[in-house]
């Protein structure tokens, strides 16, 4: 195999699995290290730089980082990255003096942001400190978008939302509540320098089955959650069926329990391994005695005398192939499940009835806007989309990243520069060697298992709708959980010229991820590895030929626990532990050279 190219940004960034998986590339190992030092303020601010809402995301993030976490490959459970983020938020002091501030003199550019959800707020967060005037139009009387309307208060308290949204609005955003944008044409006419659409995917999918229109006891999940959030709904029948098994369904079933339902069933069409909901959200629902019923396909709503009495389902049986994919299904029987209310949580879509179709903003055949995946610009120059409004429903952390990228584009657009003139990512490396056997990080492997966040007990939590169930980690739990992090950003950097092939690193490696072998093509080299290559998605590092024998050093990145023992046992310093930092550019980092007159929209 050819020697691995570790120059550039990709190789070492990928090794930090959590940061690679995070859409906003949050520097997870670094903030966990700051927490371990008790530097909660610094950990919070580091988080905020990339994900803008650490307190919110520390509770409700979809956590793409955790399935990617290396710890989950070394043992069963990943590091509780998300809950440590919350720990940083919970234990921070007053950080307001360290937040970015808008300059005293504005730069004269006006940006309209449609919807006060995470995407628009992230754009405002990045542009306000650069002197932009940001006007945020919000249909509801409170900002936050789906973070407030769709996520129940028992998972995300309003106070947390208010505080973190306040950090942005208080920089001087012009937040216009209860001001829905009714016409894009009218908005364009107001002469903004750029428009960002972050209006989300507010339309819940309906289920058009017999009986659907014969009762008012069938609710569309996200609208129903919104009504609860704004206090318009405060009760529900005793027996509730939730249709769908995504994360919205989990919020619906748990909300139903708090509104007085006694028997809540989540009805799934497929077996559990095909569920869309995150495993932890399923666990939280099941802890509250919600019954999850698999293999039931909805057939009809049963309405008698104008009253919903139940729902008919086809009970299905599935055939799976050896890779676990569904290859066939058949109906085994028809069942009637009695209920008083049904909540439909089968997905949502974006909808733009307010955007006229003759403005040069193109939509595809599904009514989704045509948006550049890098610049987030629509087909009309100066009009940008982000969050769920851009590519359909994703999650908060994606919306934040869209916001960052759109802010860069808006900044470039307003200075008349091409949107492709974006700064590249970088990686910096610096040796972590502090002394003969000292490293600048906690390199010892801690075998502790994942800590579990304590919950409010099952008796008290249903008393009110807004009792937060999760209590957050105790200080003892934080101290243990931070040590589970494997410090993947402490890279093993190999200098082939220095190696004397003494085998010391190979002998000491606790996970057998190093091998010195005669170079060969990939399959043969893989056969000679000391431990089998169980995860081909993780790269192999192959060195240049070694001086003494011409063999190569091979490292399987899959299992390395970054304990630094290879570097510790290396007599020549061929292996070194080096702290990497992935440099992610934001709008503020873009060049401020030579202002060019702003291009107008269109």
Partner 1 sequence: MTSIAKPKILHKGLRRNGLGLTMRDYEGGMSTLCAGCGHDSVTAAIVQAFFELDIPPHRAAKVSGIGCSSKTPAYFLGASHGFNAVHGRMPSIATGASAANRELYIIGVSGDGDSLSIGLGQFAHAVRRNLNMLYIIENNGVYGLTKGQFSASADIGAKAKKGEENRQPPIDPVQMALALGGTFVARSFSGDKEQLVPLIKAGLLHKGFALIDVLSPCVTFNDHEASTKSYAYTRTHRSTAVEADFVPARAAIQTSYAEGEIVDVELHDGSRVRLRKVSKDYDPGNRGAALDYIRSRHRAGEIVTGLLYIDESEPHFHVMNGTTQTPLASLSYESLCPGSAALEALQRRFR
Please pick, from the candidates 512, 581, 588, 598, the single residue that binds partner 1 as defined by CB under 8 A. Answer: 512
Cα(360)–Cα(601) distance, rounded to whole angstroms?
A: 11
Q: At its nearest, how many Å lie between partner 1 and the CB of residue 554? A: 14
Regarding 548 and contact with partner 1 (CB under 8 A), the answer is: yes
Structure token digits, residue 569: 């046992």
Q: How far is the CB of 548 from partner 1 (least distance, A)?
A: 5
Which of 67, 532, 536, 602 is the binder for partner 1 (CB under 8 A)?
Answer: 532
Per rule CB under 8 A, is residue 103 in the interface with partner 1? no
Give the nearer residue to partner 1 in terms of CB position, either 371 or 432.
432
Query: Taking the mean position of all CA atoms in its chain, how far away is CA 420?
Result: 25
Residues 19-78 close enough to bind partner 1 by CB under 8 A:
73-75
Q: Residue 127 Cβ, how far from partner 1 at the closest point, in Å?
A: 46
Residue 500: CB minimum distance to partner 1, A: 5
Cβ burial, residue 364 (10 Å; 0-12/13-18/19+) = exposed
Smallest separation (angstroms) from partner 1 to the CB of 579: 18
Task: Tell me which DSSP letter residue 96 carries.
Answer: G
Q: Is 320 in the site for partner 1 (CB under 8 A)?
A: no
Instruction: Single out the residue of 297, 120, 301 nearest to residue 210, CA to CA.
Output: 301
Task: Give the CA-trace dihedral at 237, 240, 244, 250, to 10 degrees.
Answer: 80
Count of residues that bind partner 1 according to CB under 8 A: 34
What is the per-residue binding string for partner 1 in 438-477, x denoting contact by CB under 8 A? x----xxx-x------------------------------
191 near partner 1 (CB under 8 A): no
Mention every residue, 6+ apart, whose C-beta is less than 8 A from residue 316. 269, 295, 296, 297, 329, 330, 331, 332
Smallest distance from the beta carbon of 11 to partner 1, in angstroms? Answer: 22
Q: Between 420 and 548, name the residue whose CB sits nearer to partner 1.
A: 548
Phi, psi angles (nearest 5°) of residue 281 = -70, -35
Between 22 and 563, CB nearer to partner 1: 563
User: Which of residues 420, 572, 591, 592 is near partner 1 by CB under 8 A?
Assistant: 572
CB of 502 to partner 1, least distance (A): 4
Encoded tokens for 434: 């502090």
Return the residue of 180, 571, 591, 592 that touches partner 1, per CB under 8 A.
Answer: 571
Q: Which is nearer to partner 1, 91 or 551 (CB)?
A: 551
**What mask, x for binding partner 1 by CB under 8 A, covers residues 481 to 510?**
-------------------xxxxx-xxx-x
Question: Would you count residue 549 as binding partner 1 (CB under 8 A)?
Answer: yes
Please say which residue, 213 or 527, places its beta carbon nearer to partner 1: 527
Whether residue 102 contacts residue 126, with contact meaning beta carbons closer than 8 Å, is answered with no
Q: Dihedral sign, CA of 190, 195, 199, 201?
A: positive
| Cβ pair 118, 394 in contact under 8 A | no
Q: Tell the smallest beta-carbon distance from residue 506 to partner 1 (Å).
A: 8
Q: Assess 570 for contact with partner 1 (CB under 8 A).
A: yes
Which of residues 210 and 510 has its CB atom nearest to partner 1 in the complex?
510
Query: Least CB distance from residue 507 to partner 1, whole Å?
Result: 4
CB closer to partner 1, 378 vs 487: 487
- Non-local CB neighbours of 452 within 8 Å, separated by 6+ positions: none
The one among 80, 252, 400, 561 contacting partner 1 by CB under 8 A = 561
Is 105:52 a contact under the CB 8 Å cutoff? no
Question: Is residue 259 near partner 1 by the rule CB under 8 A?
Answer: no
Alpha-carbon span 108 to 192, nearest angstrom? 11
434 touching partner 1, by CB under 8 A:
no
Q: How far, in Å, CA of 242 to CA of 250, rounded? A: 9
Token pair for residue 497?
Answer: 């010229």
Q: How far is the CB of 82 from partner 1 (least distance, A)?
A: 24
How large is the C-alpha radius of gyration of the chain? 27
Does 577 participate in binding partner 1 (rule CB under 8 A)? no
CB-count burial class (<10 Å; 0-12, 13-18, 19+) for 266: buried
- The full 3-state SS of 172-221, as one line of letters, equals CCEEECCCCCCCHHHHHHCCCCEEEECCCCCEECCCCCCCCCCCCCEEEH
Strands 296-304 and 307-320, sheet pairing: antiparallel
Which listed range, 87-95, 182-190, 197-205, 436-444, lies at the site for partner 1 (CB under 8 A)? 436-444
Q: Is 569 in the site for partner 1 (CB under 8 A)?
A: yes
Residues making contact with partner 1 (CB under 8 A): 73-75, 437-438, 443-445, 447, 500-504, 506-508, 510-512, 531-532, 534, 548-549, 559, 561, 563, 565, 568-572
């Amino acid at each position: 195999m050819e020697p691995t190219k570790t120059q550039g940004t990709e190789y070492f960034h990928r090794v930090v699995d959590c940061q690679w998986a995070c859409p906003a590339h949050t520097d997870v190992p670094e903030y966990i290290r700051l927490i371990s030092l008790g530097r909660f303020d610094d950990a919070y601010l580091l988080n905020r730089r990339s994900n803008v809402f650490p307190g919110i995301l520390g509770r409700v993030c979809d956590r793409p980082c955790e399935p990617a976490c290396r710890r989950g490959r070394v043992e069963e459970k990943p590091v509780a990255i998300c809950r440590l983020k919350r720990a940083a938020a919970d234990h921070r002091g007053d950080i307001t003096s360290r937040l970015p501030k808008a300059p005293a003199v504005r730069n004269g550019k006006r940006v309209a942001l449609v919807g006060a959800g995470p995407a628009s707020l992230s754009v405002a967060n990045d542009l306000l400190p650069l002197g932009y005037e940001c006007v945020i139009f919000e249909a509801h009387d409170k900002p936050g978008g789906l973070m407030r309307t769709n996520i129940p208060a028992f998972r995300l308290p309003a106070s947390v939302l208010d505080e973190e949204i306040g950090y942005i609005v208080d920089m001087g955003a012009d937040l216009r509540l209860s001001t829905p944008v009714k016409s894009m044409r009218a908005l364009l006419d107001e002469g903004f320098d750029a428009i960002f659409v972050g209006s989300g995917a507010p339309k819940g999918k309906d289920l058009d089955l017999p009986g659907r229109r014969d009762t008012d006891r069938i609710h569309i999940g996200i609208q129903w959650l919104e009504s609860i959030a704004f206090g318009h709904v405060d009760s529900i029948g005793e027996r509730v069926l939730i249709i769908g098994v995504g994360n919205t369904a989990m919020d619906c079933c748990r909300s139903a329990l708090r509104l007085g339902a006694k028997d809540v069933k989540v009805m799934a069409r497929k077996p559990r391994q095909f569920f869309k909901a995150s495993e932890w959200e399923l666990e939280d629902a099941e802890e509250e005695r919600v019954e999850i019923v698999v293999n039931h396909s909805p057939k009809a709503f049963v309405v008698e005398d104008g009253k919903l009495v139940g729902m008919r389902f086809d009970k299905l049986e599935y055939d799976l192939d050896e890779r676990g994919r569904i290859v066939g299904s058949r109906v085994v029987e028809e069942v009637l499940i009695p209920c008083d209310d049904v909540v439909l949580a089968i997905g949502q879509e974006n909808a733009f009835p307010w955007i006229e179709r003759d403005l040069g903003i193109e939509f595809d055949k599904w009514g989704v806007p045509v948006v550049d995946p890098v610049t987030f610009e629509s087909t009309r120059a100066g009009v940008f989309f982000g969050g769920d409004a851009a590519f359909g429903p994703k999650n908060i952390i994606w919306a934040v990243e869209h916001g960052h990228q759109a802010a860069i584009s808006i900044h470039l657009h307003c200075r008349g520069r091409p949107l492709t003139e974006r700064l590249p990512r970088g990686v910096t490396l610096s040796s972590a060697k502090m002394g003969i056997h000292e490293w600048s990080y906690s390199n010892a492997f801690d075998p502790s298992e994942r800590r579990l966040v304590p919950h409010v007990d099952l008796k008290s939590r249903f008393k009110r709708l807004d009792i937060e169930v999760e209590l957050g980690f105790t200080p003892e739990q934080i101290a243990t959980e931070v040590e589970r992090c494997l410090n993947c950003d402490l890279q093993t950097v190999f200098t082939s010229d220095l190696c004397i092939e003494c085998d010391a690193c190979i002998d000491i490696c606790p996970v057998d991820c190093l091998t010195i072998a005669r170079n060969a093509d990939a399959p043969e080299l893989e056969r000679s590895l000391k431990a089998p290559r169980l995860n081909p998605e993780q790269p192999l590092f192959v060195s240049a030929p070694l001086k003494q024998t011409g063999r190569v050093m091979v490292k399987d990145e899959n299992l390395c626990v970054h304990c630094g023992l290879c570097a510790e046992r290396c007599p020549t310093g061929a292996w070194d532990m080096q702290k990497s930092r992935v440099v992610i550019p934001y709008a503020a980092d873009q060049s401020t050279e030579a202002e060019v007159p702003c291009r107008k929209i269109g």
